[in-house]
């Protein structure tokens, strides 16, 4: 067979497959689907096996792809791609989805992170409340310059360099004021707790 003859057969086959997709989309033509299934199902299975699927998994994925062809034939546009390109793109996506399902670790029911937090004991609630109240009182006793820098560091999440730039202060001044504020807080809280 000459090259021209092969090209003619390929072109005719592509047009036939595109026509089959159109008949499936418009009339749900079983004969057209049968033609596509007979041609593509074995090729899809081989493709899936080359991508690392086992024989049974490749068979199942090929079936899923052909079901998608049946259900979504109306989404195929012969102006954008050949039928084989469209079907093998669906197949590749199905294989990726299958791999994601198998590589996702199973959740252990006894995993501590999945348990709801335990109810806090009443004495701990009271103790924490007292501590928060005392910390607020000590913060109120700080000089304004130290308090603003602490708030910028802990409430706004700024680094020392960012605080220095925001307040137009030398970096050393920022660090020493924050350190002094901590020492005052620690001193006031050590006496209480």
- 190 pLDDT higher than 90: no
| H-only helix segments in 28-118 | 30-50, 55-72, 83-103
Query: For 122-192, CATH number?
Result: 1.10.10.10
What ranges do the domains of the chain cover? 9-103, 122-192
Separation between Cα atoms, residue 188 and residue 193, nearest integer Å: 9
CATH class of the domain defined by 9-103: mainly alpha
Q: What is the predicted pLDDT for the residue at 191?
A: 63
Q: pLDDT per residue over 30-71, tens digit each?
A: 999 999 999 999 999 999 988 888 899 999 999 999 999 999
User: Which pLDDT score, from 0 to 100, does residue 4 have?
Assistant: 56
pLDDT of residue 1: 56
> Sign of the CA dihedral 90, 24, 54, 49?
negative
Same fold, 9-103 and 122-192: no
- Return the pLDDT at 125: 77
Considering only CA atoms, give the Rg of the chain. 35
140-170 pLDDT, tens digit per residue, is 888 998 889 888 888 888 899 989 998 899 9
- pLDDT band at 176, cuts 50/70/90? very high
């Amino acid at each position: 067979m000459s090259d021209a003859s092969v090209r003619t057969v390929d072109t005719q086959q592509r047009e036939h497959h595109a026509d089959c997709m159109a008949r499936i989309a418009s009339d749900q033509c079983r004969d057209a689907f049968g033609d596509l299934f007979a041609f593509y199902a074995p090729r899809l299975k081989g493709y899936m096996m080359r991508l690392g699927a086992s024989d049974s998994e490749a068979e199942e994925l090929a079936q899923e792809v052909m079901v998608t062809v049946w259900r979504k034939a109306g989404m195929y546009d012969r102006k954008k791609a050949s039928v084989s390109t469209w079907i093998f793109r669906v197949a590749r996506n199905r294989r990726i989805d299958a791999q994601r399902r198998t590589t996702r670790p199973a959740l252990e029911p006894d995993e501590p992170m999945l348990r709801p937090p335990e109810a806090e004991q009443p004495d701990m609630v009271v103790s924490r409340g007292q501590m928060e109240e005392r910390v607020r009182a000590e913060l109120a006793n700080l000089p304004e310059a130290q308090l603003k820098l602490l708030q910028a560091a802990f409430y706004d999440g700024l680094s020392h360099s960012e605080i220095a730039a925001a307040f137009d202060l030398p970096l050393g001044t920022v660090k020493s004021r924050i350190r002094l504020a901590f020492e005052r807080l620690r001193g006031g809280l050590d006496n209480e707790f």
